[in-house]
C-alpha cells in the first residue's frame, strides 16, 4: 500500500501500481471485446468457432479411447515377442 498525505492527513491507498495497470488492461480488453462483438459478422464468427470447438471436443473421448486401446494392444504384442527374437531383429527395427 502506498501512503499519501492530503490536507495534513495521511491516508493509505489500497491499490499498487501493478494492480492499477492490471485493472486498466482488463478494462481495455473488456472494451475491445464489446467493440468486436458489436458487429454481427464478428458474432457469427464467434458462434461458428464455438460450434466447431464443441464438435471437436465431442470427438475427443472416442479418439482417446481408441488410442488407449491401440496402445494397450501394441504393449501386449511387444510383451509376447520372445527376447531372443527382439534382439535378433535388425537395429533399425528395434
Averaged pLDDT score across all residues of the chain:
83
Tell me the CA distances in angstroms from 33 to 38, 46, 77, one per residue in order: 8, 11, 53
H helix or E strand, kind and range, residue 6: strand 2-6
**The predicted structure's pLDDT at residue 13:** 61
Phi, psi of 12 (to 5 degrees): -110, 130
Question: CA–CA separation, 90 vs 94, rounded Å?
Answer: 7
pLDDT tier at 1, thresholds 50, 70, 90: very low
**Cβ pair 2, 12 in contact under 8 A:** yes
| Per-residue pLDDT tens over the stretch 39-54 | 999 999 999 999 999 9
Amino acid at each position: 500500500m502506498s501512503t499519501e498525505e492530503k490536507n495534513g492527513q495521511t491516508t493509505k491507498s489500497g491499490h499498487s501500481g501493478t494492480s492499477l495497470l492490471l485493472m486498466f488492461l482488463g478494462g481495455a480488453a473488456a472494451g475491445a471485446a464489446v467493440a468486436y462483438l458489436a458487429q454481427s459478422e464478428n458474432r457469427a464468427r464467434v458462434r461458428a468457432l464455438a460450434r466447431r470447438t464443441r464438435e471437436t471436443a465431442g470427438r475427443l473421448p472416442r479418439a482417446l479411447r481408441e488410442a488407449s486401446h491401440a496402445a494397450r494392444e501394441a504393449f501386449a504384442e511387444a510383451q509376447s515377442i520372445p527376447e531372443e527374437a527382439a534382439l535378433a531383429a535388425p537395429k533399425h527395427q528395434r
